[in-house]
Amino acid sequence: MLRFDIAPVCSNAYRFVATVSFLTAAIYLFTPYKWIAAVLVIGGLVRGFISPHRCLSYKLFERITAKLGWSKTVNAGSKMFADKIAFVAGSAMLGTWLAGSSIGMIPGYAILVFAFLDLATGFCAACWAYTLYYRVKEA
């Protein structure tokens, strides 16, 4: 579902967001600093459930891409869906760490792989799934 109630977002700024997600997942998985999953939770909460335009990191990345001439706007709906997935994955990572379980490694690896795919190629798997869902739903 296209979101016309929220201004379009810069897809290249979201590649920087994917870089932050990738680094967060890498730190979570390969260091003892498991609390870093809170970055995914907070970012996913603000960008996915409130508005990407209210997120300080997105605003910074949007300004950087605008100054570099890399602005490319897309509808916010699919990117917000991806952020909701990051919120859920980050919450699972943080919650299982606080509970003393290592099961949070599973969503950590998923974030690591899919964020790398997005930052390296620009292919957002969650955005693709979002679009596919609405195409199938309409048929």
Cα–Cα distance measured from residue 4 to residue 92, given in angstroms and rounded to the nearest whole number: 30
Q: What average pLDDT does range 15-24 have in this prediction?
A: 97
Task: Label residue 52 by pLDDT band (50, 70, 90).
Answer: very high
End-to-end CA distance of the chain: 14
Residue pLDDT, tens place only, 81-117 = 999 999 999 999 999 999 999 999 999 999 999 999 9
Percent of the chain residues past pLDDT 90, beyond the cut: 88
pLDDT of residue 4: 72
Please check the confidence at residue 1 and state whether its pLDDT lies above 80: no
Please check the confidence at residue 134 and state whether its pLDDT lies above 90: no
Cα–Cα distance measured from residue 99 to residue 90, given in angstroms and rounded to the nearest whole number: 14
pLDDT of residue 3: 72
